[in-house]
Chains A and B, each alone.
Chain A
């Protein structure tokens, strides 16, 4: 029996009176990895932002349920505490906030919201050291300001580090491959694969099939003009690589 973790039903979203999503449906069950592909402007990133609760989007129709609860009613921090994690396409630089402070503050805020006790310092440090070593993140990077002076690859690894620490049940990876060379991509993807678990689902948003060689999805959806226009298995991505997105753009129009 599959349990639906995330249910997006007929989602309509506007930005400044401009409709971006025109009734999108998507169901992600526990433990599944879904890839969402599509051309620029198809609404992929909008979907990830709306699920994470970014301000500036106006939901005009449909609903988003997470573990059966109305996600759209929650603040972004409440969604995080419930287990939603958005890995940003462009992780923010925060000068003056040490990475370690940021990680501990965020983790404890989530635990507090769930009514759990705060992590003890030794346990926290042990965990950070273990995960950062696996992701080849040097310890001195953790003392610097969040993402300040980090390379593109380091920023993405820092996102994966957070994912590993916060242990979310839904990870949304927004264009994780953008700006990464092949080695950086492999390290980040290995980090993500290590987090695959029966209790954890993922939505991998990408323009290119390349990323899906490293993070192999269970399902692939093609988005065009604010809708899912085709769904299939991992082979659909390979098919797209050959034929391109043009056929779907015609279809949606």
Chain B
């Protein structure tokens, strides 16, 4: 008797690609790169707990399947998206908006692009046959393959040498379609001696539920450039957001990056930061604010491939109810990367007995003249501190709020730009207010 040995989980992925194909830009090399990537994804399937890098974030259990692509946005959905963007109140940025994974010029500030900045959509670039935009060097991972196969649109932004931007560039992701996927890939290429602030935001429009966001952003930073990066993820409470970010730093770069996760039922932000030029400094900071049964994973891989660079990681998680936060931080110091100074500190604050924090710091050091260290803590709110505040008149929730704000403050304070720091604080305050 012949039995078809098809795992039940594999078949839906096959339909997914077949159905998506007509919507995906690019043919020739682009199309074959997509096909190869999808075959790779279909063979691996969603990552699960037996894949070391995904041990704490088992997408087979958490996501089960990949939703079909969202339909292209139309007038009504754009109006909903506009409302969601307004609610974010991130003012005074040059905004480039992706709605359900598709660039929306109506909601973007293309006319106010500053001198020395060029923007093309991924759709157009792939249409021109630029298959390199789908290549990723940092890791081999099922989710990267999925993104390569299905990336519908995104932005290709170039900032010329010597350009100092007055306004932050803001890539805004808005989801309006329920039970659908938005798959995007963007490239940000910054030349030498430039100064840039890049904001990324993720939000769901009113009524959007159970959607999935799969984003990938590749950032290259030229020599002597300063980049400030702020990412705010506030997707719908039942959504998923799986993002890969890759930063490649030239020489004498200063990169300050901050990420706030306070949305989505399931999220994973995996950042790969590679030092490719000497004398660069990285400050990477993050906060996860989670409640109910939500799962938030921040995974950072910092790779020192050259000598004389400095990396600092500060991560905080605040967990309520039955939420689950994962922080995996890996610092790799290659044999050649002498005089590396790398430190990472992660702390979790548990507001409930049922919350879970997994902190996994790792150092992989192959050089012998380095200063590296890491620390991790997890604990409840200090009862003595709480009593001190209550004895001074603060109701319990307010006292907790003040202590939580202080706990995440160290990470949020790392944001240099006053306006963006205030926005991050306001975003964190929305989470606190929602706690009631």
Q: List residues of chain A with CB under 8 Å of any chain B CB.
A: 52-55, 75-77, 79-81, 85-86, 88, 91-92, 94-97, 102, 105-107, 109-110, 113, 145, 162, 166
Q: Are B393 and A166 in contact (CB under 8 A)?
A: yes
Q: Are A75 and B390 in contact (CB under 8 A)?
A: yes
Closest Cβ of chain B: how far from A234's Cβ, in Å? Answer: 28
List the A side residues contacting B392 at CB < 8 Å: 77, 80, 102, 106, 109-110, 162, 166
Most buried by B among A85, A96, A109: A96
A88, A92, A95, A107: which contacts B393 (Cβ < 8 A)? A107
Given A55-B383, A97-B402, A81:B393 Cβ within 8 A: yes
Q: Are B387 and A96 in contact (CB under 8 A)?
A: no
Closest Cβ of chain B: how far from A46's Cβ, in Å? Answer: 14
Q: Are A92 and B385 in contact (CB under 8 A)?
A: yes
Given A94-B406, A95-B406, A109-B398, A77:B390 Cβ within 8 A: yes
- Nearest to A95 among chain B residues (CB) is B406
Most buried by B among A85, A102, A106, A113: A106
Given A91-B388, A92-B384, A96-B409, A75:B393 Cβ within 8 A: no
List the B side residues contacting A94 at CB < 8 Å: 385, 388-389, 402-403, 406
List the B side residues contacting A77 at CB < 8 Å: 390-396, 399
Closest Cβ of chain B: how far from A77's Cβ, in Å? Answer: 5
Q: Are A96 and B393 in contact (CB under 8 A)?
A: no
List the B side residues contacting A113 at CB < 8 Å: 393, 395
- Nearest to A96 among chain B residues (CB) is B406
Q: List residues of chain B with CB under 8 Å of any chain A CB.
A: 383-385, 387-396, 398-399, 402-403, 405-407, 409-410
List the A side residues contacting B399 at CB < 8 Å: 77
A75, A76, A85, A96: which contacts B405 (Cβ < 8 A)? A96
Q: Are A106 and B393 in contact (CB under 8 A)?
A: yes
Given A55-B387, A88-B388, A109:B393 Cβ within 8 A: yes
The 7 A-B residue pairs with the shortest CB-CB distance, nearest first, are A96-B406, A110-B393, A80-B393, A76-B390, A96-B409, A106-B392, A92-B388
Closest Cβ of chain B: how far from A176's Cβ, in Å? Answer: 15
Q: Are A97 and B393 in contact (CB under 8 A)?
A: no
List the A side residues contacting B383 at CB < 8 Å: 55
List the B side residues contacting A55 at CB < 8 Å: 383, 387
Give CA–CA (A220, B300) in the complex, Å. Answer: 62
Give CA–CA (A233, B24) in the complex, Å. Answer: 91
List the B side residues contacting A97 at CB < 8 Å: 402-403, 405-406
Most buried by A among B385, B399, B406: B406
Total A-B Cβ pairs within 8 A:
75
List the A side residues contacting B405 at CB < 8 Å: 96-97
In the assembled complex, 22 residue pairs joining A and B whose CB atoms fall closer than 8 Å, in A order, are A54-B387, A76-B387, A76-B390, A80-B392, A86-B391, A88-B391, A91-B388, A92-B388, A94-B385, A94-B389, A94-B402, A94-B406, A96-B406, A96-B407, A96-B409, A102-B392, A102-B402, A105-B394, A106-B392, A109-B393, A109-B398, A145-B406
Closest Cβ of chain B: how far from A131's Cβ, in Å? Answer: 15
Give CA–CA (A131, B390) in the complex, Å. Answer: 23
Q: Are A105 and B398 in contact (CB under 8 A)?
A: yes
- Nearest to A111 among chain B residues (CB) is B393
List the B side residues contacting A80 at CB < 8 Å: 390-393
Given A75-B396, A105-B398, A109-B398, A53:B391 Cβ within 8 A: yes
Give CA–CA (A113, B396) in the complex, Å. Answer: 13
Closest Cβ of chain A: how far from B387's Cβ, in Å? Answer: 5
Give CA–CA (A119, B398) in the complex, Å. Answer: 18
Q: Are B391 and A76 in contact (CB under 8 A)?
A: yes
Give CA–CA (A53, B407) in the complex, Å. Answer: 25
Give CA–CA (A110, B392) in the complex, Å. Answer: 8
Q: Are B410 and A96 in contact (CB under 8 A)?
A: yes
Q: Are B403 and A106 in contact (CB under 8 A)?
A: no
Q: A80-B390, A113-B395 are known contacts; what are 15 more A-B pairs with Cβ within 8 Å?
A: A77-B391, A77-B395, A79-B391, A86-B391, A92-B384, A92-B388, A94-B388, A94-B402, A94-B403, A102-B402, A105-B398, A109-B392, A145-B406, A162-B392, A166-B393
List the A side residues contacting B394 at CB < 8 Å: 77, 105-106, 109
List the A side residues contacting B389 at CB < 8 Å: 94, 102, 106
List the A side residues contacting B407 at CB < 8 Å: 96
Give CA–CA (A189, B407) in the complex, Å. Answer: 34
Give CA–CA (A23, B113) in the complex, Å. Answer: 77
List the A side residues contacting B396 at CB < 8 Å: 75, 77
Closest Cβ of chain B: how far from A197's Cβ, in Å? Answer: 20
Closest Cβ of chain B: how far from A109's Cβ, in Å? Answer: 4
List the A side residues contacting B410 at CB < 8 Å: 96
Q: Are A75 and B391 in contact (CB under 8 A)?
A: no
List the A side residues contacting B402 at CB < 8 Å: 94, 97, 102, 105
Given A94-B406, A95-B406, A52:B385 Cβ within 8 A: no
List the B side residues contacting A53 at CB < 8 Å: 390-391
